[in-house]
Amino acid sequence: MNLDLQGKVAIVTGGSKGIGLGIVQMLLAEGACVVNVDRSPADACGLDGSDPALQTNYLFVHGDLTDVSVCETAVVRTLETFGKIDILVNNAGVNDGAGLDAGLAAFVQSLQRNLIHYYAMAHYAAEHLRRSRGCIVNIGSKVCETGQGGTSGYAASKGGINGLTREWAVELAPAGVRVNAVLPAETWTPLYERCLAAMPDPQAARAAIEKLIPLGRRFTTIEELASMVVFLASARSSHTTGQIIYVDGGYTHLDRKCTVDGGVSEFGAATT
């Protein structure tokens, strides 16, 4: 399917690795111009401009998004380079383990890492998105629905992202700007792989998690998440706004009977 993204201009935060990198790569493959805003070095993701094809449709903006001036700079540089903004993908964040015992300073810092820059990017880009009748896609997390333990700041941030998605969808609808959120659960990323590698039996740990994912008993891939994001960023989803979409193989919401060995067939319909 041609998503008609040729010539569209997208800003992606945290686009140098993991899910963010997958989104950047897919947008570029669809013909969009992409601005990657990330604190990682410019060459960290292999999109440093050494590929001639990237020199006209890719821009890297280096900076830590906890400094909200970086958000404004990213918007300014995007306009200087490409002249417009059609798509904003708020992705950057980290599950930093700021739990109840971490204290107020750690909690506020977690909000800065995971929520404040979502607002700042939308604030600075809003005027330009109105002009282009563009869209925002926010990347959230199932943690805001399920909890996880020991990560109050991250959970609060992701819950806030869901709220802002609906709020912005209402506020920006008169201008034709769509706002949606994509929420992953257990996604196979390099970070997840490194975390499991530190365990005594990485293969057993992975298998134990995969058994809890009803659809296919496997992790979601970066490509599957990126595909949903890019679809929502395209005109193919032109009447979709205010939606919080889970790309998680049923992990978050399906009946717990589906997450045990044997699945729901062991219980049958009578148990409902």
Angle at 51 between CA 125 and CA 59, to 5 degrees: 15
From the candidates 58, 118, 124, 154, give the one annotated as an active-site residue: 154
**246 is a catalytic site residue:** no
Strand partners, 187: 220
In the chain, the DSSP E strands lie at 9-13, 33-38, 58-62, 87-90, 135-139, 178-184, 187-188, 220-221, 244-247
Strand partners, 178: 135
Q: Which residue has the tokens 């070095």?
A: 41
Q: How far are the Cα atoms of 28, 45, 195 from residue 224, in angstroms, in the given order?
A: 16, 19, 21
Using CB atoms within 10 Å of the CB of residue 230, give its burial: 0 to 12 exposed, 13 to 18 middle, 19+ buried.
Answer: buried
- What are residue 180's phi and psi, to 5 degrees? -140, 165
Instruction: Tell me the Ramachandran region of residue 168: left when phi exceeds 0, alpha when psi lies from -120 to 50, beta otherwise.
Output: alpha
For residues 235 and 135, what is the distance between their CA atoms, to the nearest angstrom?
A: 10
Q: Residues 6 or more apart from 15 whose CB is under 8 A from it?
A: 21, 23, 24, 34, 36, 37, 38, 45, 89, 91
For residues 159 and 140, what is the distance between their CA atoms, to the nearest angstrom?
A: 8
Instruction: Report the catalytic residues.
Output: 154
